[in-house]
Structure 1
Amino acid sequence: MTNKKMTRQEEHDFYADPENQMPQGPARRRNSKLTELVPVRFPPDTLAKIRDAADADDRSVSAWIRRAVDHELEHDTKTA
């Protein structure tokens, strides 16, 4: 395992090796069940910014978007 920040291609190459596919540590569970898939489309430039932000936070794009939506909903309830 490495601590170096990898590109998507480097990650793909790294995990293509079966020796790098062994779980590390205990399993982690989400706090709550997710309900349904909601397809959302973004313009290419927005999606690129989302991917960069998610990478910077070491999150998946989906997790980053869920957090952003939760933050916005929390913000809306405080200002209402």
Structure 2
Amino acid sequence: MTTQKMNPDEDYEFYARPENQVPQGPPRRRSRMTESFLVRLPPATLDEVRRRADEDKRSVSSWIRRAVEHELDKQAQ
């Protein structure tokens, strides 16, 4: 296993090899999600969310969940 930062091409080559596709450690289960709901954002905000999610290699939903959790943690402090 490597700990150095890889660019997308190196990342693809690394995980294309079968020996690098073996799960490490016990499986991690995601918590069950509840109902979905609609959130409307201005186009410029949505574009920025999409850009940042892509930058973090996350889905938009995952990025928004993380942002909400971050804000909730911050409020609890």
Which residue identity is paired with 1:49? E
Q: Give the equivalent residue in structure 2 for 1:20.
A: none
Structure 2: gaps spanning 5 or more residues: 1-7, 10-20
Which residue identity is paired with 1:41? R
1:38-53 matches, within 5 Å, as: 38-53=37-52
Q: Report how far residue 31 of structure 1 moved.
A: 1.8
What percentage of aligned pairs have identical amino acids?
54
Which residue identity is paired with 1:39? L
Q: Give the equivalent residue in structure 1 for 2:61.
A: 62
TM-score by length of 1: 0.62
1:1-80 matches, within 5 Å, as: 3-4=8-9, 30-78=29-77
Matched residues, number: 56
Query: After TM superposition, where is structure 1 displaced by more than 4 Å over at least 4 residues in a row?
Result: none
Distance 1:31 1:46, change over 3 A: same
Q: Report how far residue 25 of structure 1 moved.
A: 6.1
Alpha-carbon separation, structure 2, partners of 1:75 and 1:30: 25
Structure 1: gaps spanning 5 or more residues: 5-23
